[in-house]
A and B are shown apart, each in its own frame.
Chain A
Amino acid sequence: MSELDQLRQEAEQLKAQIREARKAANDTTLASVAANLEPIGRIQMRTRRTLRGHLAKIYAMHWASDSRNLVSASQDGKLIVWDSYTTNKVHAIPLRSSWVMTCAYAPSGSFVACGGLDNICSIYSLKTREGNVRVSRELPGHTGYLSCCRFLDDNQIVTSSGDMTCALWDIETGQQVTAFTGHTGDVMSLSLAPDMRTFISGACDASAKLWDIRDGMCKQTFPGHESDINAVAFFPSGNAFATGSDDATCRLFDIRADQELAMYSHDNIICGITSVAFSKSGRLLFAGYDDFNCNVWDSMRQERAGVLAGHDNRVSCLGVTEDGMAVCTGSWDSFLKIWN
C-alpha cells in the first residue's frame, strides 16, 4: 500500500473512531431529559418599533453592547446606526462598496465594521475628534467575499469568508494574525464564545467547526446538517451552539459531548434558515426563514413556541440584545423590526 493509501485508510479509521466515541457518549436524548420541563407557553411578541430608512434589502444587523443602538447594512450601500428606543438614525454611513453582506458593532461602541463582495473588512470610527464617521482601516487579504465579522475588542476582529477560511486581524497593523483553515466550503457565519477564547464557524460544507482563537487550531468538527449552514450562534453558557441551514432545520450541538443534541424542524417548514439567536437564558431560539417569518423555538423541548410575522420578504438577519430585552429582525423588505 502506498503511503498515500495508508494515510487515507488511517483517516477512515479515525472517522469511524469518532463516530463510535460519539455514540458511546449518546446515553440519552435532550428531548427525554427535557420531557418533564415546564412548557413556556405560547410566546406572543409585538412589534415595538419599525426602523425605516434603508432603500434596499437589509443583509445584516448587530446590536451594540448598550442594548439600545444597533447597526444595519443594506445593499443600498449604507450602514445605518439606529437608536432603537427613539428610532432615530444616529449615523448614516455611505459605503465604498454597496455589496455588503455583514456588519458588526465593537463592544466599546466606538467602531463598526462591514464587508461583502469586495472581500474587504472595513472598520469605521464612530467617535472621531471631528465628529464625523470615517473609514479608519481596511483589511484586505481574503480571496473571497466577507460573510461575517465580529470584534473581540477595538483592535481585534474575526472574519469569515467565501474563500473557505476565517481570520483574526490586528486592526492597527491591518495584518492577519491567524488564519483558520479547514472548511471545504464557503464559510457563511461565525459566533464568538462568551469567554472570547473560541468561536464557532458554519460553512457550505454542511459542518460547523470550533476554533481556538489564539492558536488557530480547529478543536472540533460537527457534522449533521444536510446542506449549507447559513448561521451559527453560541448558547449563552458557552457550552453549546445552534445552527441554521438550507436543509430547513436548526440544530443544537453540545461542545463537551461533541455532538448534535436537538433538531428544530417541521414537515411544513421547507425553506432555509438565514439567521439564529438565543434569548438571554438560552430557552428561546429565534430563527429567521426565507418564507418571511421568524420562528421562536423552545430550545429544550424542541417545540415551536411562537412566530414573529410581519415582514413582507425574507428575514435575513436577527439579533437579541445583551440585556435580553428585545429581539430585532431585519429583512429584504428593507425594514428592521424590534419585538418583545
Chain B
Amino acid sequence: MYTCRTAAVRLYPGATTATTNMDVAKTQAEQLRHEASIQRKKVSEVAKDLIDYCEKEKPNDTLVCGPSDSHNPFQEKKSCIVL
C-alpha cells in the first residue's frame, strides 16, 4: 500500500501545479495519524464472530445447503415430448 507504484511525480487528482510536495506530505501524514489512532480488535475475537455468523445463517444459505426442489425458482423446466 505504501509503495506508490506510479511515477513519483504523479500528483493526487485535483492537484494543480500549486500543490506542492509539502501539501502531499501533510495530507499523507494527517491521514496516517488518523489511521494509526483506531482501536483494533483481536483476530481471535473477530474470526470467531465471522464463523458464528456463517453458522447462524447457514440454514438460509441455499448455495451451501442446496435448494429444495419444492422451492427452487431456477429448477430446470421439464421438457415435454410432443408425440
Residues of A within 8 A of B (CB): 3-4, 7-8, 10-11, 14-15, 17-18, 21-22, 24-30, 33-34, 37, 40, 43, 45-46, 48-49, 68, 84-85, 143, 163-165, 179, 181-182, 184-185, 204-207, 217-224, 235-237, 239-240, 254, 256-259, 261, 279-284, 299-300, 320, 323-327, 338, 340
Contacts and interface: CB of A to CB of B under 8 A. Distances in A.
B72 to A, nearest CB: 7
A239 B5 contact: no
A34 B32 contact: no
A338 B50 CA distance: 27
Contacts of B1: 205-207, 221-224
Interface residues of B, number: 52
A184 B10 contact: yes
B73 to A, nearest CB: 5
B70 interface: no
Contacts of B9: none
Given A4-B21, A4-B25, A163 B60 contact: no
Contacts of B58: 281, 283
B28 to A, nearest CB: 5
Contact of A261 (B22, B31, B46): B46
Interface string B18-33: 0001100110110111
Contacts of B55: 37, 281
Contacts of A259: 40, 43
A185 B46 contact: no
Nearest to A17: B36
Contact of A237 (B4, B21, B49): B49
Given A25-B40, A259-B43, A279-B61, A68 B53 contact: no
A205 B5 contact: yes
B61 A280 contact: yes
Contacts of A43: 63-64
Given A3-B22, A18-B32, A48-B75, A219 B57 contact: no
User: Secondary structure at chain B's binding surface: helix, strand, loop or mixed?
Assistant: helix
B48 A33 contact: yes
19 contacts: A7-B25, A14-B35, A27-B43, A43-B64, A48-B76, A68-B73, A165-B13, A184-B5, A207-B1, A220-B38, A236-B53, A239-B50, A258-B38, A261-B50, A280-B63, A325-B63, A326-B62, A340-B67, A340-B72
Given A11-B25, A256-B40, A261-B43, A181 B14 contact: yes
A222 B5 CA distance: 16
A46 to B, nearest CB: 8
Nearest to A320: B63
Contacts of A29: 43, 47
Contacts of A184: 4-6, 10, 12
Contacts of B38: 219-220, 258
Given A236-B57, A240-B50, A300-B54, 20 more contacts: A3-B22, A4-B25, A7-B26, A14-B36, A15-B32, A17-B36, A21-B40, A28-B47, A34-B47, A164-B12, A179-B14, A184-B12, A205-B6, A237-B49, A239-B50, A254-B46, A257-B40, A282-B54, A283-B64, A300-B51
Nearest to B57: A281
